[in-house]
Amino acid sequence: MSDSLKSSSNDGSLSDSARSTSVRPLAKLLALSAPVWVTGGDGRIAYVSSSCGQWLRTSPESLLGRGGPLVHGESESQRTGELHRIDQLARSLMPPVGFSGRSPASRRVQPIAADDSGLLIAPRECLFVPLPGEDGVGVLAIADMTIGKVGTQFQSYLQLVETLDRQLAQSPRRSVSAVTLGTSVWAQRLVRQMDIASTSTMHVTFSGPSGSGYESIARVIHSTFGSRHSGKFAPLVCVDGPLMDAELFDVATGQAVAQILEQETSIAAVLLRDIDQMPHDAQARLELLVSNYPKRFRLFATTALPSVALAPTLLPSLAAKIGDLEMYVAPLSERVEDIPIIAAAMLQRRRLANEGRAEQLGRDALDRLVMYPWPGNFDELDAAIRNAAKQCRGDTIHVEHLPLAIRTYGSVIRPMEVVSVTERVVMLDELLEQTERASIVRALDAVQGNKAAAARSLGVSRPRLLRRIEQLSISWPAE
């Protein structure tokens, strides 16, 4: 399973072995108040929720790595006192005898107390769900749940968990590119196309709306191909097409060219944003690179235009050499069913990067995320999750932690027929101002405050954007 999980959390604890069991997404998506724990394929405890620690009257951290045969580096003679009791407690949480790892099972768990208090720990009926992974079959255990109690809603939770766990664990690509997650037709098609693109140095053209995570996709393809290539690999270079002239393009791609010249087997790649807006003198320099270094220079290009409209914007010699593979990245509004999985994965990365303490998305926040149209697509969703993770001081992100544009989307406005004519004019001015302010804030969120990039996404000049930011008293990040 995914190897990106580590450390501990306020909601529970993860062992080092949890790097091979993608358990934090499970805890996020289940969001259950009942005790939850996970054992890895080796039978050791890999995750313990805080509510589970309360039930067992011990810290979740003390159980991590326990269970299984022997604790690493420990002999049987060393198992005395508290250490022995913790191991016995861990073993009392194991699945029922004869658990096959092919289907859920339930049993009554009677924990063995880990202290000398003499107090009994109340037994509970527990459900054990198999989690196949690279290290064997792990187990997700949930107290106060049995097979008979598993209803439609919980089954849908398990399906969502299974989907996210499988996609995050299947390969390194899934763990770094949230854009690929989901069950929609578009997500499945994107994954297949990425698999094809990762097998060679074919040039790739991305088409679709702005903010669609092209850079993330390109980096995954580039690194995946690099892992299969024995030569030296240069980092992906990102270039803004509209800002380039011939001289600037030479400077921007100088590192990539130097890498090619340094070693005969080296591979270099460039992500060129908005190639349809690139000046022709810079296009000519790009065409030279493509022609001079076949199979060693790779171009990823983005455009909002369909292929039939892209060709007339390019030099004929360049248009004939690029676009070996065209990948259409659907807008987020067409992948509504994927939003919960994508948002959960984005939040997971923020948490692991110590950019917030939030562990999960509340039902109210998820409802807003699904309802919102996402004009800024994946970049806007990522910015929203980043902002919410910073704003949230607890374990769960709620509506109030989301950016203003999202939490106020769809707000009810008083019917015009019950408002006076004078009020209508005032309301229209206020509404236009609020809409403009929300659009600017959303654009700034999507590009992390880069005003030049925000101006391009809004279709206005940078001076005009700066003027409106001052007139509307907009601050970023939003307070």
Query: What global pTM score does this model have?
Result: 0.53
Instruction: Determine the pLDDT at residue 411.
Output: 56
Q: Which residues contact 269 (CB under 8 A, 6 or more apart)?
A: 218, 222, 234, 236, 237, 256, 297, 298, 299, 300
Summarize pLDDT for 233-244 with one digit per residue, the tens.
777 888 999 988
Task: Give yes or no for a cis peptide into 415 (omega within 30° of 0).
Answer: no
CA atoms of 463 and 210, how far apart (whole Å): 22
Residue 300: pLDDT band (50, 70, 90) is very high
The alpha carbons of the chain give a radius of gyration, in whole angstroms, of 27
Instruction: Determine the pLDDT at residue 120.
Output: 75
Instruction: Determine the pLDDT at residue 381.
Output: 93
SS3 labels along 140-177 = EEEECCCHHHCCHHHHHHHHHHHHHHHHHHCCHHHHHC
Residue 164: pLDDT band (50, 70, 90) is low
What tokens were used for 353?
A: 């990067």
CA atoms of 129 and 140, how far apart (whole Å): 5
Say which residue, 42 or 343, is predicted with more confidence: 343
What tokens were used for 150?
A: 């598993």
Residue 183 has pLDDT above 60, yes or no: yes
Say which residue, 209 or 28, is predicted with more confidence: 209
Instruction: Determine the pLDDT at residue 170.
Output: 47
Summarize pLDDT for 13-58 with one digit per residue, the tens.
544 444 333 444 444 444 556 788 888 777 888 888 778 888 988 8
CA atoms of 451 and 94, how far apart (whole Å): 55
Residue 302: pLDDT band (50, 70, 90) is very high
Say which residue, 35 or 300, is predicted with more confidence: 300
Say which residue, 9 or 108, is predicted with more confidence: 108
Instruction: Determine the pLDDT at residue 203.
Output: 93
Residue 205 has pLDDT above 90, yes or no: yes
Summarize pLDDT for 381-412 with one digit per residue, the tens.
999 999 999 888 888 899 999 988 888 876 54
- Cross-strand pairs, 397: 361
Q: Which residues of 226-263 are buried (b: 16+ CB within 10 A; e: fewer)?
A: beeeeeebbebbebbbebbeeeebeebbeebbebbeee
CA atoms of 144 and 154, how far apart (whole Å): 13
Residue 175 has pLDDT above 50, yes or no: no
First to last CA, the chain: 39
Closest to 191 in 3D by CA, of 202, 201, 182, 204: 182
Three-class secondary structure of residue 299 per DSSP: strand
| 352-363: average pLDDT | 81
Indicate the helix (H) or strand (E) that contains 25: helix 24-30
Q: Choose the weakest-confidence range: 12-26, 140-154, 220-234, 317-331.
A: 12-26
Q: Which residues contact 37 (CB under 8 A, 6 or more apart)?
A: 45, 47, 48, 49, 52, 63, 93, 141
Q: Choose the weakest-confidence range: 12-16, 220-224, 307-311, 473-477.
A: 12-16
**DSSP state, residue 95:** P
Instruction: Determine the pLDDT at residue 163.
Output: 56
Summarize pLDDT for 105-147 with one digit per residue, the tens.
888 998 888 776 656 788 999 888 877 655 566 788 888 876 6
Instruction: Determine the pLDDT at residue 436.
Output: 79
Instruction: Determine the pLDDT at residue 288.
Output: 92
Task: Name the range with the highest mean pLDDT among 20-24, 249-253, 417-421.
Answer: 249-253
Instruction: Determine the pLDDT at residue 410.
Output: 67
Q: Which residues contact 343 (CB under 8 A, 6 or more apart)?
A: 361, 366, 369, 381, 385
What tokens were used for 421?
A: 């004519």
Residue 160 has pLDDT above 90, yes or no: no
Residue 477 has pLDDT above 80, yes or no: no
Summarize pLDDT for 428-463 with one digit per residue, the tens.
566 677 777 878 888 887 787 888 888 888 888 888
Residue 415: pLDDT band (50, 70, 90) is very low
Instruction: Determine the pLDDT at residue 353.
Output: 76
Instruction: Determine the pLDDT at residue 230.
Output: 63
Instruction: Determine the pLDDT at residue 187.
Output: 86
What tokens were used for 160?
A: 């969502």
Say which residue, 296 or 170, is predicted with more confidence: 296
Say which residue, 129 or 167, is predicted with more confidence: 129
Percent of the chain scored above 70 by pLDDT? 73
CA atoms of 390 and 397, how far apart (whole Å): 10
Alpha carbons within 13 A on the beta-carbon side of 129: 22
Instruction: Determine the pLDDT at residue 86.
Output: 82
Summarize pLDDT for 54-82 with one digit per residue, the tens.
898 888 878 888 887 544 444 444 444 44
